[in-house]
Amino acid sequence: MRYDAGEVITAMVTPMNQKREIDYNKVEALTKHLISHGSDAVLVCGTTGESPTLTYEEEVELISTVKRANANKAKVIAGAGSNSTETAVKSAKLAQKEDVDAILSVVPYYNKPSQKGMIEHFSAVAESVDLPIILYNIPSRTGVTMQPSTVAYLAGKYDNIVALKQSSGDLDLLSETRILCPDDFVIYSGDDSLTLPMLAVGAHGVISVASHLFGSEIKSMIRNFKTGELLAARNMHKKLFPVFKKLFMAPNPVPVKAALAYKGLIEEYVRRPLVELTDDEKITLFTAIDGCFAD
Q: Would you please indicate which residues are annotated as catalytic (active-site) residues?
A: 136, 165
- E strand or H helix that includes residue 102: strand 102-106
Q: How many whole angstroms separate alpha carbon 71 and alpha carbon 68?
A: 5
Nearest in space to 270 (alpha carbons), one of 62, 92, 51: 51
Which residue, 200, 187, 76, 63, is CA-closest to 134? 187
Q: How would you label 50-87 residue by residue, b for 16+ Cβ within 10 Å and e otherwise?
A: bbeebeeebbbbbbebbbebbeeebbbbbbbbbbebee
CA dist., res. 44 & res. 59, Å (int): 8
> Residue 226 and residue 245: Cα distance in Å, rounded?
24
Q: What span, in angstroms and rounded, lies between the C-alpha atoms of 144 and 41?
A: 28
- Closest among 189, 194, 133, 192 to 160, alpha carbons compared: 133
Instruction: Measure the CA–CA gap between 106 and 83, rounded to whole angstroms.
Output: 8
Nearest residue to 141 (alpha-carbon basis) of 159, 167, 165, 102: 167
Cα angle for residues 163, 211, 286 (degrees, 5° grid)? 145
Separation of alpha carbons 289 and 270, rounded Å: 20
Helices (H), 129-276: 139-142, 148-157, 171-180, 195-200, 211-226, 230-246, 254-262
